[in-house]
Structure formats: C-alpha cells, structure tokens
Chain A
Amino acid sequence: MNTATHALDPHGAHAAAPTGILRWLTTTNHKDIGTMYMTFSLLMFFVGGAMILAVRAELFQPGLQLMKPEFFNQLIGVHALVMIFAALMPAATGFANWMIPLMIGAPDMALPRLNNWGFWLLPPAAILLTLPFVLALFGIGDGAVATGWTLYAPLSVQGGIGVDFAIFAIHILGVSSIMGSINIIATILNMRAPGMTLMQMPLFCWGWLVTAVLLIITLPVLAGGVTMLLTDRHFGTHFFDAAGGGDPILFQHLFWFFGHPEVYILLLPVWGLMPHVLSTFTRKPTYGHTAQVWSFIAIGVLGLVVWAHHFLTAGLPVPALLYFMYSTMSISLPLAVLFFCWIATMWRGAMSFETPMLFAVGFIVLFGIAGLTGLVLADVAADAQYHHSYFVVAHFHYALFTGGIMGVMTGVYYWLPKWTGHMYSEKLGKLHFWLTVVSFNLTFMPQFFLGLAGMPRRIPDYALQFAEFNAISTVGSFILGLSQLIFAYNIWRCVKGGEKASDAVWEGTSGLEWELSSPPPHHSWETQPVSKA
C-alpha cells in the first residue's frame, strides 16, 4: 500500500532529503525526531547517573572524602534536573513522536517543523545546565546551581551564577515542552484515522493527551516563578522577600503548582503504555479501557490541586493542611483503579515473560510501594517526621525510577523491534532486568530505613549510626548504574542488526502500529487507514 501511495506523492522531493548530520539537524519526520529524543535521553541518563554515582561514592562512608559540600549540592541538584528534564521527559516525548502517528494512523505529527524545534531546544538547555561546572574549572563563577532542583528562595536568590544558568535552562526546556505538547494535542485531535473516536483511541495516546494538557497548564507557571526569582536576584524586586512584603513560601507554591503535576507528566505516558504491554503478553484485550481513560483524566485534574503536600511543614494554616492532605489521598482512588485494571488484564491470561513483560510486572509491584509510601507522606501528622528525610528520597525514586524509568525501559524493549526491524537479545534483556530490579531495591530500600531513623536528605556527611545502610545503598547504586551499560549495549546491538522482527513483532499485539512493516516506511500512514475499532 505504501509503495503505491508513494508514487503519487505530489511533492516528490523526498529522494533529495539531506543525509548525514544534516538529516538530523533539519528533519521534519516524526520517526527521526523520535529517535533523536530517545538517543538524547539515553545519553543524559548516563550523564545524570554519573553525577549521582559520585554523590553515592561520597556517601559510602561518614565524613567528607571526595568533594566539598558545595560541589555535593551542585551534583544532587543538577542530577535531578538532568534526570527529570533531559532524561525522562525526552524519553516520553520520543515515544510520543514515534508511536502516536503510528497508533492513530497519521502521516506525521501535525506540526512537523515545530516538532524539530522542540527537540533542538533540548541540547542548548542541557549545555546551560552543565556549563557552569566547566566555567568553574576556569575560575568563572562558583559552579552549577547548588540549591537542589527545587530552587527554593531565599537560597536561590542569594546563590551564584549557576542559578541564572538553571533559570534560563528551565525557560528553554519549558518552551520545548510546550511546543511538544501543542504538537501532540493538535496531532491527536486533528490527525486520527477516520473511525477512531477519542474513546477508542489507544491508551498510550490518552496518557499523552492528559500529559500534554498538564504541561500547558503548569509549565508557564514555573516559567513565571523562575522569572520572579530572576528579577528578585538582579532587578531589585521583593516577591520572595518579607522585608518588601513578599514571602519565600510564595515560591514554593509556584514551584510545586508545576512540580506536583510534573510527577504525573512523567508517569502518565508510562501508565498509558503499560496496558499495551500487559495486553500483548497476556494475549487478552485490555481490561477497563474506559475506566483507565477516566482515571487518567481524574488523576490529571486532582494532580493540579494538591501541590502543597510537598511543603506541609512550611507553616501553612491548619485548614490548608487538612485540605491538601485529603485531596492528596483522594488521588489513590483513580490510581487504585489503574492498578486494578492492570492486574485484571493479567488475570487468567496466557502470560509469557519476555523482557518488556518482566519490566511491566516489576513496575506494578515496585510502583505500588511508591504509591503506598506516598499515602504515608501525605498524612500531615506523620509527614512532620518524614519530611526532608531519606524516606522522601526513597519514595520518589520508587515513583520515578520504577514508575518512570523502568516504564521507559518497558516501552523501549517493547517497541525497539518495531523501530529497528530487529529483535534485541532476550538473554541480555533479562539479565538487565534482574540486575536492575535487585540493585534498585538494594539502593533504595535501605533509604526508607535511613529516613525513618532520621537521616536528613541533601547532606554530604552523616552520623555514624547511618553508616551500614549508606554503604549498602552505595554498593547497590553502582551495580544499578553499571547494569545500565547492558541496556545501552543491547540497544546498540539491536540497531546494528540481529534476528528480523515480523510486522506484528509479538504474538498478542493489536492496533494499527503493528500493521506497518518493521521498521515502518519513512512515511508511515501516507494515506490514512480506517480504524476498525
């Protein structure tokens, strides 16, 4: 079908498309752009990972061995910003670019040039984030942002040049995400194959639709917040200064109005792809498609009105504390619906455990721990003890590593044969899975205990009684970091060659994306299919 329509291509100039580096700089093709997003994400995953391994090495023993506390602070802040904005978000956007047009039967994204711009904004932002490290080596400035990724005032008002770099990196990343979101919404609303109603649309697209709306609602508020931070730093305003009538807590409100929905921005694309994987490897249709759609929407809406649970100890009035506690806990209802649907999809299925399925099941179990510890943290009375402790660090790594990054790995293993036309090595994939799951728990499970015992986060040194658990955690983190090299090698191997993948790739797949060849032709659905759903 595709060769036939290609001959009719009225523009006919595709043969002259640039090759080499120019192909990637100039491309307007959703698959090329998706590949760039995924590659960038993998690269930055290792950059952010290297930073945190240095941190864990410092924390291996009490006392200061490797670095000054200032540099330690820079590493943890930039680690978080890199992992969130330059590793996880681009990976999800890469999935969206690759898969949404294939799934909904679209010829490409709705706004292809804008799509390219969205990607090429990322490298400048990553350079801005990390450049201060390099400048400091030449005696310019005092290094990267050292406030933690939350940039709380007044610390960030007083901080060095690294804060300015971080502010503009966030601005550029924000533009990138908003352009990407606009494109995804326009694609989903305008480019679906005839016959595909919104409710029949694949859940991955639904997860991204809610994500994109959340990004458009919340990212501009973060942009406004860091702009006020910039004027407080350099132009004499007093937004976050009580002497002028302002309030540092105002920054926390603005930051977390973005920051909490950001968690769902990172997780919703993964929640969207899970049902596809579970349904494929249990050879059963997804359980509760409509219920999952409404859960996504409910989580998106609730996610916008619970932000202050990130600073319950900041001195908010009691009615506000109660409101934010109950509203936060109410999110567990739609989330429980999702868990139920995932498990019900597997119920009595003809299950097989290829690597993507292993990651999916691992995700469900470990992400469940993130959800349950989140409930504990939302409790105002209990939070007074847990706040700003390693319990929080462990909680959000269970949420964002297993919920986010393991979800991305699920998707990569699931779709890689479709993208490259080759099967990856199942043996290496399984090795990667088991090493990742075991070492992840080895790294982060002790941190729950450390937090309960009272170890505060964001410190380079600690009291002696925390030594054993920190040593275990550091050993775990190095195994975790090094096992990701297997992941990278497996991807590289799969791109280079290997056993040919069939069009449907897996036995239990359903959906338009599996009707195309593996890899799909340069212009996937040049003529739209008709959805049979």
Chain B
Amino acid sequence: MLNNVGWSLAVEKLLQIEVPERCQYYRVILGELSRIADHFTCNGASAMELGAFTPFLWLLKVRDWVWDILERETGARMTHSFGRIGGMAAPPTASFKDDVRQLIPEVHKVVKETEIMLLRNRIFLDRMQGVGVLTKEQALSYGVTGPVARSTGIPYDVRKDHPYMVYDRFDFDVPIGEDGDNWDRFMVRLEEIRQSVRIIEQAIEQMPDDGPINVDDPRIVYPDKDEVYTTIEATIAHFKLVMEGLRTPKGEVYSFTEGGNGELGFHIVSDGSGTPYRVRVRPPCWYNLAASREMLLGGMIADIIPTFGSVNMIGGECDR
C-alpha cells in the first residue's frame, strides 16, 4: 500500500494535481496500517529467528487483523493493487473508521505483551544489544534510511522532514536509537508502531466522512462506470486510458515517501506519452542491505541471523 501510494504521488507530482483531502487521509491511514503490519512482521520474525516463537505468533495475529481491514478495503490481503493515479480504486467502506478504531487497542495490547515477553530475556538481550552495530557515519555514507538509519541516531523521516499529503497536520515523534545495533532497530520499529497508531488516531478524527476520493478529470481517472456504459464521451475517455495509458506532460520528477523500510523514491522521466520513458525506483532495502556488510564485519556467523532479520531486507526491492 505504501508503494501504491508512493507511485501515485510521483505521477501526481508530474501531473501537478493533488487528490481530494478525504483521499489523502484515506491514503495516510491505509499506509500507516501497512507500516504497522510491516513492523510487526519484521519484529516478529526477528524474535522467532532467535527462538522466541510465541511473540512471533502473537504479533502476526495482529498483523492479520490489520490485513483483515486492508482486505475489506482493497480486496486483497497483500497484493492490494488499490492506489490509483488521481485517487484510489474505491472509496472507504462504511465500516472503515469503526474497524480501525476497534483495531487500535489490540495493537497497543500486543505491543505491550511483546515487551513483557522479550525485553527482559537475557538471550534476546545478548544477541541484540551491541550486535550488528552501524555507526551514524556509515549509515550516512551508505544512504541508509528508515528505521535502520534512525536506529543510529539520524532523525530522518520523510514524513517529518519533507511532509507530503497531510502528514504535517499530525502530532507524532520520530524515535531514534543511540548505537545502531540490532536492539535499537528492534526498538525503533516497536516505537514506530505506537507512533503510527497515534497518526491513525488523529487521521481518523480529521478525515471527512464524505466527499470525492478521486480527482475530477476523465483524462486521469476512469469515468464512472454507469456513464461508460451509456454515454460515448465517458466511453472515449475510458478507452483513451486503457489504450494509451495516462498521458503525462513531458518532463521528469523525483518523488519520495517514507516506506516501511525507509525512503521510497520514484524517478520518472516522461516523454509525454502514456507510458513512462524511464522509471527508476529508489528502494530503501537496496541501500539498507548494502550497509549490512558494515554491521556484519567482525561479528560472528551466528550474528548474521539477528542482524539480517533486523535490517528487514525485502527481496523484491533488491532484485536489480
């Protein structure tokens, strides 16, 4: 979902349009839910790899509840395919806000439980603290972003430093670590879950209950289906979008958002046609993975497991 939104924002920047406010809140909430799901998975897997299976299951239980909401909204648990240039594929469901409100206490509860079960366990502490250290300088030189960078003490968060959509309206903190070890990465993610919940709580209150989701331009968004079935104008607009794709002005744009693992950037070069002339994705994990060399050097073979787990490498982003 964060990728969906990131890409849509990049093309929207090229088109110089802004989606309606309701959609921006919708995107923020769905995005933060995805971030929570991401951090739950990463932290749960980190713990499991060190032998703590129960926290893994408990974290994934809540992740599945997050996914239940995303599935209700988007139609798929993981491959959402829900973001559209100029809006979203569909407006929020009627029960969206209530669903999210019901979820929030569960998230808090399981984060608390995880802390009780893990954070005083010596095996966990020994394998996380002081292991896989990345210094601030190394992090900067590798272009590391996201929780990995923040764990070294760099307070860089795109949502704060370059606010996009409506992130400047929310009150939330950027958690940072001190040493950049596995423990800090784990704890930064755990804290970010709480901060995401704070954002969601505020966004739910501020989000309008009605209003358009998509921009009002048949050249960007598919026209309403009823119009397409019965009028030629809408049919033509529909066909133009299907046949040629969405035509953007000539030019290039770099747009970046805070993905689950750091700065997710899209560099698009457009030649004015319906397909991009060139697209380059700046995936956070590619840089984070590169920096894992520095974390692992001089350590033990066994340390690869917690370190690699806490980097949260997404294979698809490193496939290039």
Bound together: no
